[in-house]
Structure formats: C-alpha cells, structure tokens
Amino acid sequence: MPICLYCLNDKPVADFNREHVVPEAFGKFKNNFVLHETVCTDCNTYFGKTLDLKLGRQSIEGLDRYDANMKRPDDKTRFGGTLTLSARINDGGFADGAEVYWAAAPDESRLVLHLYPQFGVTDGGRTLWFRSEQLPQRNDLSRHGFAQEAAISVKSVGMDADLSFGLLAAKGYSTSKPEVAGGTQEGEELDIRISGQVDRLLRRAIAKIACNYLAHDTQQSLRCHRRWQCAGSFVTGRQKTSVQ
Ligand SMILES: [Zn+2]
C-alpha cells in the first residue's frame, strides 16, 4: 500500500487522490505537476481547508489572481483586513492612514476598494484609525498613547455624519459632529499602501509547495530521507520547530 507523504500512514490506493504541486486556485498550467498516490485524501482535504485557503484568500499572491484574470470576483469576494494582508490610504489627505479592503464591483468584473466605517482620532500630531466597532471609550484613549488631557478631534470615513455622531456620543466623545468623508467614488483612484505578513500558516502553505515539488522528483525516496520527518511535520503542523 502507498504511504502518504505527510501523515506517513500506509493506506489503500482508494484513499488517495490527486495533489497538485501548486494549488489549483493559482491556475491550471500546461503540464501541471500532479502527485498521484502520494498525498492521502484526508491530508489533501485538510490542506485545502487550511493552508491552500489561507494562501488563496489572505495573501498578496492570492490577490494577484484577480489581476492575472485567473479568477473573477463574485459578490462574496473580500480581501484585506487581516494580519497577513491589509491596505491603507497613503495619499497624505483627509483619509490618509484609513483602512480599505477589496470587494467585487457591482458588475463583478473586477475588485474595487472600499473604506471600512472608521474613525480617525488625532491629538493634532498623530492620527490613529479605529474601525467603528473597535473605537475605544474616550476615557481609554490613553491606552493608545494619547495624553489624558490632550485635546482630541475625530474624523470619520465610510459612514454618514449622523451614524458617526451617535457612535461617538455612545463612547463618551463630546465632539461636535465629526468631519466626514462618506466613501470612495466610483472610478476614483486611491493611493494605497499594502502590508503583508508571512505568518506560520502561510509559511506552512509555501513549504507544502516546496515539499510537493521535491516529492514530484523523488517520489518514494523522499519519505525515507532523514530530514523529511521534520519538513513534513512542519507542513502538517504536527511540530512546532521551524524548517531552515
Ligand atoms: Zn495523509
């Protein structure tokens, strides 16, 4: 019986399915590398729901799929707002530093940028942006580096003035109606700064592609290599140590 490359269990052939060396979400290539009887269905399914999903939906590479026309957005498509992929306006203007996300245009032909409903709190020096549901109580602003006695002003984007005024009053802000910019205009170009982090899950997803490539060339012998246990365990998440 074949042995699964990752869980190292020997299983009947029927318990294996095709594993694409590069996840299919990133495109189908001519002469695509595919592993047969190498990764069991259980591991394949687990990877699809965790590592491949993370790489496809929360990484800059995942976003590139839309630029490359490998995937069309639908109304549920949403990118950004995660530790591993986020973006902020970077134009030095009213909404500089405000957080944006990508979602489908009304005709679903492309991704466009949207502003989260959020507040920009400033003491005249720096400005911190908080999504509307994460705005701290006025009395707790000192935890975010504002001096307790500092004169604070607040602006909001992504929501109308009445809503933002009500939310501010509920959190103890005695500001008059805040300055408001409602949102981005259709067709407007925004200067943004994209931030990405490669966290442990993304490292495992990338390591799986590298391991799959190795397996494609070496087949059975890879499992017997003395260093394989470490690499395979890193991909499956069974082991905490990182692979050099
Ligand atoms: Zn397995």
Average pLDDT over every residue of 164-187:
76
Number of C-beta neighbours around residue 165 at 10 A: 19
pLDDT in tens, 215-242: 888 866 777 777 787 888 899 998 655 5
Taking the C-alpha atoms of residue 54 and residue 76, their distance in angstroms, rounded to an integer, is 16
75, burial (CB in 10 Å: exposed 0-12, middle 13-18, buried 19+): exposed
* 21 Cα to the center of ligand 1, angstroms: 15
Report pTM. Answer: 0.82
Average pLDDT over every residue of 136-165:
90
pLDDT of residue 239: 67
- CB-proximal residues (5 Å) to ion ligand 1: 4, 6-7, 40, 43
* 57 Cα to the center of ligand 1, angstroms: 24
* 128 Cα to the center of ligand 1, angstroms: 46
Q: Which two tokens stand for residue 15?
A: 């318990």
* 214 Cα to the center of ligand 1, angstroms: 16
Q: In what order do the strands lie in the sheet with 179-181?
A: 127-131, 118-122, 153-157, 179-181
